[in-house]
Amino acid sequence: MNTKFAIFSDIDGTIYPYSQTIHPNTLLDIKEAQSKKIKFVIATGNPFLKQVQWLSKELKADVAISSNGAYAYDLKENKEVFAKILNSDIANELFKLSLELNTSCAWWD
């Protein structure tokens, strides 16, 4: 039986539990899993910007899923896997609604 495994990890509060420093034990655990051919995937609500890109490469992640699942990047193949861009008409309606409700909203593409 050929079973494949993967570890999906959030960043804030998981890889960086108390500071913006990766705990040495976390690095060791990730490396041990990778030595057993277990794929390592970063899954974060953060956009795929410099910090997530750096961390993904630093941890030798196979894939980074970012923007709450709206974007995925294959770091081994160095290519975008999936991108769901918010339609500008929908974004404008959401913005108007947030103004009417006196709330805040944020999105990126």
pLDDT tens digits, residue range 65-93? 998 889 999 999 999 999 988 888 988 89
Write down the H helix ranges in the chain: 24-35, 50-58, 88-100
Beta strands in 28-83 (DSSP E): 39-43, 63-66, 71-74, 79-83
DSSP-derived secondary structure letter, 67: G
pLDDT tens digits, residue range 16-72? 877 778 888 889 999 999 999 999 999 999 889 998 999 999 999 999 999 888 999
pTM of the model: 0.77
Beta bridge partners of 83: 71
| Residues 55, 66 contacting (CB under 8 angstroms) | no
